[in-house]
Amino acid sequence: MGLTIRQIRDNTTRARHLMQRSRQQGFAVGAFNIDNQETLIAVAKAAQKLQSPVLVEVSDGEVKAMGLENIRDLVDNYKVEYGIEMYINLDHSPTVEDCKRAIDAGYEFIHIDISQANHDATEDEIIAKTREVVEYARFTGALVESEPHYFGGSSNVHEETIDYEEIKKTFSTPEGTKSFVEETGIDTFAAAVGNLHGKYPVPKQLDLSLLAKIRESIDCQISLHGGSGTPLHFFEEAARIGVSKININSDMRYVFRKELEKVLAENPNEYAVVKLMPQVYGAVQTVVEEKINAFGSAGKAVI
What is the chain's pLDDT, residue by residue, as a tens digit (303 residues)?
Answer: 689 999 999 999 999 999 999 999 999 999 999 999 999 999 999 999 999 999 999 999 999 999 999 999 999 999 999 999 999 999 999 999 999 999 999 999 999 999 878 888 999 999 999 999 999 999 999 999 999 987 766 667 777 777 777 788 889 999 999 999 999 999 999 999 988 877 787 788 899 999 999 999 999 999 999 889 999 999 999 999 999 999 999 999 999 999 999 999 999 999 999 999 999 999 999 999 999 999 999 999 999
Cβ 174 vs Cβ 213: under 8 Å? yes
Triad 51, 9, 243: Cα angle to 5° = 50
Contacting residues for 163 by C-beta, under 8 A, at least 6 apart: none
Burial of 183: CB neighbours in 10 Å, binned 0-12, 13-18, 19+:
middle
Whole-angstrom Cα distance, residue 275 to residue 11?
A: 34
Q: What is the DSSP secondary structure assignment for residue 133, as one 8-state letter?
A: H
Query: Is 91 among the catalytic positions?
Result: yes
Cβ 205 vs Cβ 269: under 8 Å? no
Cβ atoms within 10 Å, residue 176: 16
> Which one from 10, 73, 76, 91 is the annotated catalytic residue?
91
Fold of 5-295: TIM Barrel (3.20.20)
Residue type, 243: V
Prediction pTM value = 0.94
Whole-angstrom Cα distance, residue 101 to residue 82?
A: 27
